[in-house]
Amino acid sequence: MINVTELKVGNYFLEENVLYQVLDVLLNKTAMRKMVVKLKVKNVRTGAISEMSRNSGYAIETVKIDKKKMQYLYDSGDFLVFMDQSTYEQIELPKESLKWESQFLRGDEEVDVTSFGDEILGVLLPSKVVLKITECEPAVRGDTVNKAMKEAVLETGLKVKVPLFISQGEEIYVRTDNGQYDGRAN
């Protein structure tokens, strides 16, 4: 147990059997009052983001989230299959709970699978991934008024806006936080 004022961004804590991740901390102290800690938190199980306030001195139970490197193998329909490369143990995670992450996974990639006790929480992706363009319109000469972009479909089915000079078959970097083009891959 720690004081709520000691929480940092990225910490995990358990309150009323709900697991939260701290996204932002704001300490507010006025002359006549105790310090108030305003927290922006994410419910790790549901993904809901909310805000809460606690007075200083409030005890919080911090928890440790385990991360394990696993290799993404394939999509089996309703599940995504991952394998521990040292023990060759395979786990299946529901595709429904990994909708966003599945747009950036192609075979044989190594990711961090997070867990709390025996409960598997999800997958942590790298900040950028390399994906190949499978469909893309050819550039139209003279169509460069402003930062001209066109839509491209990637090998995972994700659609992104790319500059006109990018063509079908090329590999590009895509940011996993917002799903946007981030440059050519060499």
Counting other chains too, the contacts that 9-15 makes at CB distance below 8 Å and 24 or more residues apart are: 11/62, 12/44, 12/62, 12/63, 12/64, 12/65, 12/116, 13/60, 13/61, 13/62, 13/63, 14/61, 14/62, 14/63, 15/60, 15/61
C-alpha to C-alpha distance for 26 and 132, rounded to whole angstroms: 41
> Which of 63, 87, 108 represents a domain boundary (last residue)?
63
Query: Quick one: 6 and 59 in the same domain?
Result: yes
Among 91, 107, 124, the domain-final residue is 124
Residues 53 and 17 placed together within one structural domain of the fold? yes
> How confident is the model at residue 13, as a pLDDT?
94
Interacting residues of 55 by C-beta distance below 8 A, sequence separation 6+: 4, 34, 35, 36, 37
Please check the confidence at residue 146 and state whether its pLDDT lies above 70.
Answer: no
What's the confidence (pLDDT) of residue 25? 94
* Residue 149 sits in the same domain as residue 166: yes
Domain identity same for 57 and 78: no
162 with 134, same domain: the answer is yes
One domain for residues 10 and 57 = yes
In whole angstroms, give the CA distance from residue 75 to residue 81. 6
For residue 125, pLDDT beyond 60 = yes
pLDDT band at 143 (very low <50, low <70, confident <90, very high): low
Say if pTM beats, i.e. exceeds, 0.75: no
- Domain with residue 39: its CATH number is 2.30.30.30
Average pLDDT rounded to a whole number, residues 84-110: 89
pLDDT above 60 for 2: yes
Full residue range of the structural domain in which residue 132 is found: 128-184
Residue 81: pLDDT band with limits 50, 70, 90: very high
pLDDT at residue 117 tops 80: yes
Question: Is the same domain home to 38 and 84?
Answer: no
- Whether residue 178 is predicted with pLDDT greater than 60 in this model: the reply is yes
Based on the fold, state whether residues 101 and 150 are members of the same structural domain: no
Percent of the chain whose pLDDT exceeds 90: 57
| Same-domain pairing of 120 and 138 | no
Give how many domains the chain has, as a whole number: 3
Q: What gap in Å lies between CA 155 and CA 174, rounded to an integer?
A: 12
Q: What pLDDT digit, counting tens, does each position of 16-62 carry?
A: 989 999 999 999 988 888 899 999 999 988 888 999 999 988 999 99
Identify the CATH number of the domain in which residue 85 sits. Answer: 2.40.50.140
The pLDDT assigned to 141 comes to 65
The Cα angle at residue 93 between residues 91 and 96, in degrees rounded to 5: 165
102, 143: one domain: no
63, 94, 111 - which closes a domain: 63
Give the whole-angstrom CA distance, residue 87 versus residue 4.
Answer: 39
The whole-chain average pLDDT of the chain stands at 89
